[in-house]
A = this chain, B = another copy of it.
Amino acid sequence: MRYTRPIALMCSLVLSASVFSAEPVKTLPGDITLNQAQQVVRAALRHAETIKVPMNIAVVDAGGNLKAFARMDDAYLGSIDIAERKARTARYFNMSTRALGNAAQPGQSLYGIEATNNGLAIFAGGELLIDRKGVIVGSVGVSGGTVDEDESVAKAGARALSGSTR
């Protein structure tokens, strides 16, 4: 092992110069890939089909920007916006939209927060996407059924990435 390091380092130094002169790296290493986002969408679609509820499914990356989206046939038109908003809201506050919503009820500490950020979604259906290393790499928002159904579909999507049942 000890001999490989310097060689690897040299290679890396040689390459880094050319890589830099070539062009900067455009995406943070470890951010969600399109491939991963599509896995999340597919897993969510499968669960939505199982429970027979037409859903809108949106995935955003670690920066909160849209990465993938799918609207099932017969899903609400008004849920396009809500699915995207749930995904964005979850990542904006690093918690599920259900948790945020609980804190935003009348009399609670975050009452009124939904009026910020050009409108947040503060009901269940937005879940964080956490990879196998425990890094938040984005979030998924689902809208189209009851909030419990939305949440179950979002969680099915999230599990596709974390590889667990949490």
Contacts and interface: CB of A to CB of B under 8 A. Distances in A.
Given A24-B134, A111-B123, A135-B25, A71 B81 contact: no
A121 B112 contact: yes
A38 B80 CA distance: 16
Nearest to A67: B71
A73 B27 contact: yes
A44 interface: no
A63 B61 CA distance: 9
B61 A134 contact: no
Nearest to A38: B70
Interface in A54-98: 61-74, 76-82, 85, 89, 91-94
B33 A73 contact: yes
Contacts of A4: none
B72 A34 contact: yes
A110 B145 CA distance: 11
Contact of A113 (B38, B77, B94, B123): B123
Given A28-B137, A34-B73, A85-B116, 9 more contacts: A24-B135, A29-B30, A37-B70, A76-B94, A78-B93, A81-B116, A105-B106, A110-B123, A111-B122
